[in-house]
Amino acid sequence: MNIAVVGTGYVGLVTGVTLSDIGHNVTCIDIDKEKVEIMKKGTSPLYEPGLSELMNKNIKQSRLFFTTNHAEGFANAEVIYIAVGTPENEDGSANLAYVEQVAKDIAQYVVQDLIVVTKSTVPVGTNHKIKTIITENLVNNIKFEVVSNPEFLKEGSAIKDSFEGDRIVIGADSSEASAIIEKINQPFGVPVFRTDVRSAEMIKYASNAFLATKISFINEISNICDRVEANVEDVAKGMGMDKRIGPDFLKAGLGYGGSCFPKDTKALIQIAGNVHYDFQLLKGVVNVNRKQQRMIIEKLLERMPDIKGKRIAVLGLSFKPNTDDMREAASIVVTNSLIDRGAEVIAYDPIAMNNAKKILAPEVEYSTSVKGAINESDAVLILTEWDEIKDIDLNFFSEMKYPLVVDGRNCFDLETMREHHIEYHSVGRPSISCQFEKTYA
């Protein structure tokens, strides 16, 4: 099939690269000239394990192309995927400006019958709106169908998720269009679930909201564990052994960040509100998450009530490991709060520091190594569970004047920290107290 993919963020680029890898001819279109130039050379503009290799392979085999020109990209397209952003409006609703612009671009430039597939996460009813926009603006006399095909990939494991996903959801009003999209995806070997357009749109929001609910739930349990001296990791393990609950997404920590859960939970609250339904449970999930990101500061202040002038090392800045994405990362809230309280912040991340520099407060200093960040710091905060941080030489902590580590991601074994004489506070697990009996005030 000849396919065009509009938008080359995570979703568009991974969609384009993987569709070309299973044998389709794919042209990826983006309005960002600089990005397109980089991609033409086979370089991924985002950090994603395995993506550059797969890009290069398919560029070399002349199955994958990049352009800024919609007319050129659409010239032979039998299917066009929409994969542009749907960011958050100020009121939490999804901003559909980019999607609507692509619908207008399609109406203007398509020259043959085709299927339009929406990969972007869009509120229920948007695909019908896309159909209306294209119909009202069509320049050439062609026939088209619109199909919803929400994306479920996770950043950091996007390629694996494409080839080993749990399901591909295809929502269509036309069974013919649905069958064509199923056939396109067949080589992935992932189970396909076919439904109507509105249900497919809802499946995406409901899935993200449910996963976010699991995370906020276990975070609430972890806060209770802290107070009753239970261990949330064992609690999650014991819960997850029940097949009805399942072990995934029960990792307590600093709450969820990233480009999807924060905006999609708020958008679903808006979608419900638009039909006069008060989604109380999801509002609770969002509020719990907001509080959870600040929990690490509270734990630090319990041991070090005055952090003014103190040097605090912050390890891990991206919203989760294996990505350089800083969108809605806990590090934004945490470093701002440290700086507001007059602390000096020395930060380290294996991959995300360039992106962090564009987003975090200018007062944040950066170290080129974990050791450099810890060196001479008064306390260490851990915000992202990168392997490099989990594998740290614990003597780096022991060598601090008073080794105080507050870990928002439970990176270390309690017994090992005790053996190394490190004062260690983590999430929903008993604290390892300080051998020096020191108060840091």
Ligand X SMILES: O=c1ccn([C@@H]2O[C@H](COP(=O)(O)OP(=O)(O)O[C@H]3O[C@H](CO)[C@@H](O)[C@H](O)[C@H]3O)[C@@H](O)[C@H]2O)c(=O)[nH]1
Ligand Y SMILES: NC(=O)c1ccc[n+]([C@@H]2O[C@H](COP(=O)([O-])OP(=O)(O)OC[C@H]3O[C@@H](n4cnc5c(N)ncnc54)[C@H](O)[C@@H]3O)[C@@H](O)[C@H]2O)c1
Which residues are designated catalytic? 260
Per CB under 6 A, does 85 bind ligand Y? yes
CB of 255 to ligand X, least distance (A): 6
**Ranges within 290-319 binding ligand X (CB under 6 A):** 319
Task: Identify the residue among 25, 44, 208, 337 touching ligand X (CB under 6 A).
Answer: 208
Stretch that binds ligand X, among 93-101, 248-256, 338-346, 373-381 (CB under 6 A): 248-256
Whichever of 268 and 304 has its CB closer to ligand X, that residue is 268
* Residue 126 touches ligand Y, criterion: CB under 6 A: no
8, interface contact from ligand X, ligand Y, none, CB < 5-8 Å by kind: ligand Y
Q: Which residue's structure tokens are 């950043």?
A: 155
Q: Which listed residue (3, 5, 9, 326) binds ligand Y by CB under 6 A?
A: 9
Residue 228 CB-density burial (10 A; 0-12 exposed, 13-18 middle, 19+ buried): exposed
- Among 101, 112, 195, 336, contact with ligand Y (rule: CB under 6 A): 101
User: Among residues 18, 44, 58, 121, which is the contact residue for ligand Y, using CB under 6 A?
Assistant: 121
Given 180, 203, 225, 260, the residue binding ligand X (CB under 6 A): 260
The nearer residue to ligand X, 264 or 324, going by C-beta atoms, is 264
Closest CB to ligand Y among 95 and 223? 95
Q: Which does 211 bind (CB under 5 to 8 A by kind): ligand X, ligand Y, none?
A: ligand X
Applying CB under 6 A, does 67 fall inside the site for ligand Y? no
CA distance linking residue 70 with residue 30, whole number of Å? 8
Contact pick of 9, 12, 123, 258 for ligand X (by CB under 6 A): 258
Instruction: Kindly tell me which residue out of 5, 12, 215, 345 binds ligand Y, with binding defined by CB under 6 A.
Output: 12
Q: Is 422 near ligand Y (CB under 6 A)?
A: no
Count of Cβ atoms closer than 10 Å to residue 237 Cβ: 12
Give the residue with the Cβ less far from ligand X, 114 or 260: 260
Q: Report the residue from 9, 16, 257, 316 that binds ligand X according to the rule CB under 6 A.
A: 257
> According to CB under 6 A, which one of 260, 360, 422, 432 is a site residue for ligand Y?
260
Q: Which of 44, 58, 67, 120 binds ligand Y (CB under 6 A)?
A: 120
Minimum distance, C-beta of residue 437 to ligand Y, in the bound complex (Å): 46
CB burial of residue 158 (10 Å; 0-12, 13-18, 19+): buried
- Sites for ligand X among residues 143-172 (CB under 6 A): 151-155
Name which of 412, 409, 422 is nearest 383 in CA terms. Answer: 409
Q: What is the per-residue binding string for ligand X in 211-230, x denoting contact by CB under 6 A?
A: x---x---------------
Nearer to ligand Y among residue 181 and residue 296 (C-beta)? 181
Least separation in angstroms between CB 93 and ligand Y: 13
Q: Applying CB under 6 A, does 32 fall inside the site for ligand Y? A: yes
Q: Distance between CA 40 and CA 55 in Å, rounded?
A: 9
Contact between 251 and ligand X per CB under 6 A: yes
User: Which of 152, 402 has the CB closer to ligand X?
Assistant: 152
Task: Note whether 17 and 58 are within 8 A (CB).
Answer: yes
**Which residues contact ligand Y by CB under 6 A?**
6-12, 29-32, 35, 83-86, 98, 101-102, 105, 120-121, 151, 153, 155, 259-260
The residues that touch ligand X, with contacts defined as CB under 6 A, are 121, 151-155, 208, 211, 215, 249-251, 253, 256-258, 260-261, 264, 319-320
